Amino acid sequence: MSKNINYKNAVAITRDIHWVGFYDKEAHLYCNPYLLIDDKDVVFFDPGSIPHFPTIMRKVIDLVNPLEISVIVAHHQDPDVCGNLAVVEDIVDRDDLRIVAHTKAIRLIRHYGLKSEFYPVEKNDNKLTLQSGRVLQFINTPYLHSPGAIVTYDRKTRTLFSSDIFGAMAKDWSLFAGDNFIDSMDIFHREYMPSRQILQHCMEELDKFEIDRILPQHGSVLEGTQVRKAIEHLKTLPCGLDLIQD
């Protein structure tokens, strides 16, 4: 897919969802934070690491006043997801900022030294209703790749923010997946996901959702027919323990 994209700026994925990542040419593991700009809420997904913070925040500020960010979703506790949370919350500077995560992740995220209120998904019916009425639904994806890992489904745009799941590692990166996305997705899942059985269980959960696009925290955005192709493929991919046993 050839899309002429200037990665120095934020990139619109839908009218209200934007990629605000750092295009790190030296890395094979690209990190993708996303900003969802709703009517009265701005939701920041997986804000990222300290080294990426200046670039990410400049792109955020190009789109919104940081004071408008009302919700941060931290899909799990990793430093590439949460490393910059303490500085992000300083810039946002809102007493009512909420950090959405699973309790099993919150126990670890606390160690980043945050002051904002946490919103534990499993104690809130696994959903968050924004002021506009838009519903974000959260799905626990245990052990992919941590016990409290979650993903977010935005019902309005039928978008799945999938965190590390559907992530990919590749030398040549593009924000939108090309025809050969499966190979770089496999490399990441073989190394970071625990077993085919666990991955398959998650894919069968995702079968229940109508998904138009997947926005992973690594690798490339999947759209259209790529979505179903990726889900079916990961149902049978040996990874983690499967490969150790072999």
**Is residue 16 part of the contact set for Fe ion (CB under 5 A)?**
no
Q: Does 46 bind Fe ion (CB under 5 A)?
A: no
Site string for Fe ion, 85-124 (x = CB under 5 A): ----------------------------------------
Asked if 128 and 36 count as a contact pair (C-beta separation under 8 A), the reply is: no
Give the span between the Cα atoms of 144 and 150, in whole angstroms.
Answer: 9
Q: Find the shortest distance in angstroms from Cβ 218 to Fe ion.
A: 5
Residue 38 interacts with Fe ion (CB under 5 A): yes or no: no
Kindly tell me which of 70 and 146 has the beta carbon lying closer to Fe ion: 146
80 binds Fe ion (CB under 5 A): yes
CB of 210 to Fe ion, least distance (A): 25
What whole-number distance in Å separates Cα of residue 27 and Cα of residue 23? 9
Restricting to residues 116-175, which ones interact with Fe ion according to CB under 5 A?
A: 164
Q: Does 78 bind Fe ion (CB under 5 A)?
A: yes
Q: Which residues bind Fe ion (CB under 5 A)?
A: 78, 80, 164, 217
